Chain A
Amino acid sequence: MKLFFTLLTLFSPHFLIAQTSSFFISFTPTYNGVPMELEKAYGSDSLKIETLKFYISDISFFNQEQQWFKFQDGYQLLDFSNELKTGKSYGAPSYFSYSHIEFDLGVDSLTNVSGAMEGPLDPMNGMYWTWQSGYINFKLEGTAANCPTRKNEFTFHLGGYQAPYAGKQRISLPIENLPSTRDIEIEIPIDELFQKINLNDNNEIMSPCATSVEMAKILASVLKIKNN
Chain B
Amino acid sequence: MKLKLICIIVLTGFISSFVVDEMVELVYPSYFPSPAYNFSNNQLTKSKIELGRALFYDPILSKDNSISCASCHSPFNAFAHTDHDLSHGIDDQKGTRNAPALFNLAWQSSFMWDGAINHLDMQALAPIAHPKEMNETIENVVKKLQTTSLYPDLFKDACGDSKITGSKILKALSQFQLTLVSANSKYDQMKMGEIEFSEQEKNGYQLFQKNCNSCHTEPLFSSFEFANNGLSVDTTLNDFGKFTITKIVSDSLLFKIPSLRNLSFSYPYMHDGRFKKLNDVLKHYTQLDHKNKLLTKPLQNPIELTSNEKTDLIAFLLTLDDQSFVFDKKHRFPRNILLQNTNKN
Contact = CB atoms under 8 A, between A and B. Distances in A.
A122 to B, nearest CB: 5
A126 B166 CA distance: 10
Main secondary structure of the interface of A (DSSP, over half): loop
A126 B103 CA distance: 29
A124 B117 contact: no
Contact of B42 (A115, A130, A134): A115
Contacts of A124: 138-139, 142, 165-167
B63 to A, nearest CB: 13
Nearest to B111: A133
Contacts of A113: 118-119
Contact of A130 (B126, B142, B245, B246): B126
A131 interface: yes
Interface string A62-95: 0000000000000000000000000000000000
Contact of A116 (B126, B128, B137, B170): B170
B130 A133 contact: no
B116 A118 contact: no
A123 B122 contact: yes
A121 B165 CA distance: 11
Residue among A123, A125, A132 with max Cβ neighbours from chain B (10 Å) = A123
B306 interface: no
Contacts of A125: 166
Interface residues of A, number: 21
Given A114-B41, A115-B121, A132 B116 contact: yes
A118 B165 contact: yes
B247 interface: yes
Given A116-B167, A122-B166, A209-B247, A133 B142 contact: no
Contacts of A131: 116, 126, 129-130
Contacts of A132: 116-117, 126, 245
Given A113-B119, A132-B116, A133-B122, A122 B245 contact: no
A47 to B, nearest CB: 27
B171 interface: yes
B316 to A, nearest CB: 35
Interface in A94-141: 112-118, 121-126, 128, 130-134
Contacts of A134: 118
A112 B118 contact: yes
A132 B246 CA distance: 10
B1 to A, nearest CB: 48
A162 B118 CA distance: 11
Residue among B142, B165, B168, B174 with max Cβ neighbours from chain A (10 Å) = B165
A123 B117 contact: no
Interface in B156-180: 165-168, 170-171, 174
Residue among A116, A128, A132, A162 with max Cβ neighbours from chain B (10 Å) = A116
Interface in B113-147: 116-122, 125-126, 128-130, 137-139, 142
B38 interface: yes
A116 B119 CA distance: 8
B122 A126 contact: no
A117 B42 CA distance: 10
Contacts of B166: 116, 122-125
Contact of B122 (A116, A118, A162, A209): A116
A115 B116 contact: no
Residue among B118, B120, B129, B171 with max Cβ neighbours from chain A (10 Å) = B118
Contacts of A118: 165, 167-168
A134 B115 CA distance: 12
Given A114-B41, A116-B167, A133 B119 contact: yes
Contact of A126 (B118, B119, B139, B171): B139
Contacts of A126: 137, 139
Nearest to B117: A133
B139 A114 contact: no
A127 to B, nearest CB: 11
B190 to A, nearest CB: 35
Nearest to B142: A124
A134 B130 CA distance: 16
B107 to A, nearest CB: 15
Residue among A112, A133, A209 with max Cβ neighbours from chain B (10 Å) = A133
Contacts of A133: 116-119, 122
B142 to A, nearest CB: 5
Contacts of B130: 130-131
27 contacts: A114-B38, A114-B41, A115-B170, A115-B171, A116-B119, A118-B165, A121-B167, A122-B165, A122-B166, A123-B122, A123-B167, A123-B170, A124-B138, A124-B139, A124-B165, A126-B137, A126-B139, A130-B125, A130-B129, A130-B138, A131-B116, A131-B126, A132-B117, A133-B116, A133-B118, A133-B119, A209-B247
Ranked 6 nearest A-B pairs via Cβ: A124-B166, A130-B129, A115-B121, A116-B121, A132-B116, A133-B118
